[in-house]
Amino acid sequence: MLHRLLLLPLAPALIVEGRWVRAHTPRLPEPEGARAGVCGDGPDLRLLIIGDSAAAGVGAPTQDQALAGQVSRKLGDHYRVHWHLEALTGRRVDDYLPPNGPLPDFDPDVILISIGVNDVTSSMSAKQWLTKVGQWLGHLRDRYQPALILFTDVPPMDHFPALPQPLRWYLGKRAREFNNGLAPLLRGMRDVVRVSVLFENDPAVMASDGFHPGPEGYRVWANEVLTLVRSRLGDEPAASTGVT
């Protein structure tokens, strides 16, 4: 309650800045390129990437330099990767809850999720978001029974160059509230692991819009995914799900 009272004097500035950001931030397109493919050599691994504009690769010039391309290529050094991208700019967690959410005809060993930024900028509370994330994860686990779900933390929005103060501070605070609830939510879900991408306030990892990762940011993200997949699944990922 206290923090809400403290925010009241900032409300007019936050509204004005939010409108300014929407009007002046460049709207980068989703990159051209394949959204499904096979690459690499080794044991089979089926990868589903799902989520918002970052999952879709906004900020990279091509899909090859975006999240899907870099993750599949790095995993391809160890596996024969069958990958599928199901992501769209503007997506929120509500867009993936039944009956709305797309369910690709694909049986993944690994699901990589990026969601939350568009929920942070909405009126949804952290409690509401976490409840819906829990529902979505339950649905994905029941539908696909993957060996591993990688849930990417909401990025540190107080590091986004596109956002002025105090809006940057406020959205960063909201993002932390969302992330802080993930640990208790995921407790007991041994097949769900958080992906924390540490950009350390480095402009070099950001795209020209100051809001999305650039190719270097996607490289950092892909390296973290590779580390988690290798440590969790080793050399026989399909053995956990019966995929051949």
**Residues 21-63: tens digit of each pLDDT:** 666 667 899 999 999 999 999 999 999 999 999 999 999 999 9
Per-residue pLDDT, 230: 97
In the predicted structure, residue 214 carries a pLDDT above the cut 80:
yes
Residue 151: left (phi > 0), alpha (psi -120 to 50), or beta?
beta
Tell me the pLDDT band of 236, cut-offs 50, 70 and 90: confident
Residues 6+ apart with CB under 8 A from 19: none
Mean pLDDT across 65-86: 98
Give the C-alpha separation, 14 to 7, whole Å: 9
Q: Give the single-character DSSP code of 28.
A: P
Q: Tell me the β-bridge partners of 150.
A: 112, 193
Tell me the pLDDT band of 200, cut-offs 50, 70 and 90: low
Share of the chain above pLDDT 90, in %: 73
More confident site: 103 or 222: 222
Mean pLDDT across 137-152: 97
Asked whether residue 180 is domain-assigned, the answer is yes
Per-residue pLDDT, 189: 96
Q: How many domains does the chain have?
A: 1
Asked whether residue 145 is domain-assigned, the answer is yes
Using DSSP's 3-state secondary structure scheme, residue 238 falls into helix
Tell me the pLDDT band of 115, cut-offs 50, 70 and 90: very high
**Average pLDDT score over the chain:** 89
> Helical H runs in the chain?
2-7, 11-24, 53-56, 67-75, 117-120, 126-144, 167-180, 182-186, 215-233
Per-residue pLDDT, 142: 94
Per-residue pLDDT, 98: 87
Share of the chain above pLDDT 70, in %: 86
In the predicted structure, residue 103 carries a pLDDT above the cut 90:
no
Tell me the pLDDT band of 100, cut-offs 50, 70 and 90: confident
Strands 44-51 and 110-114 come out as parallel
Asked whether residue 186 is domain-assigned, the answer is yes
Tell me the pLDDT band of 202, cut-offs 50, 70 and 90: confident
Give the C-alpha separation, 125 to 27, whole Å: 26
- The CATH number of whichever domain residue 197 belongs to comes to 3.40.50.1110
- Give the range among 28-32, 92-96, 202-206 with minimum mean pLDDT: 202-206
Asked whether residue 169 is domain-assigned, the answer is yes
> Domain of 160?
36-240
Asked whether residue 23 is domain-assigned, the answer is no
Q: Give the single-character DSSP code of 210.
A: S
Asked whether residue 21 is domain-assigned, the answer is no
Asked whether residue 25 is domain-assigned, the answer is no
Asked whether residue 7 is domain-assigned, the answer is no
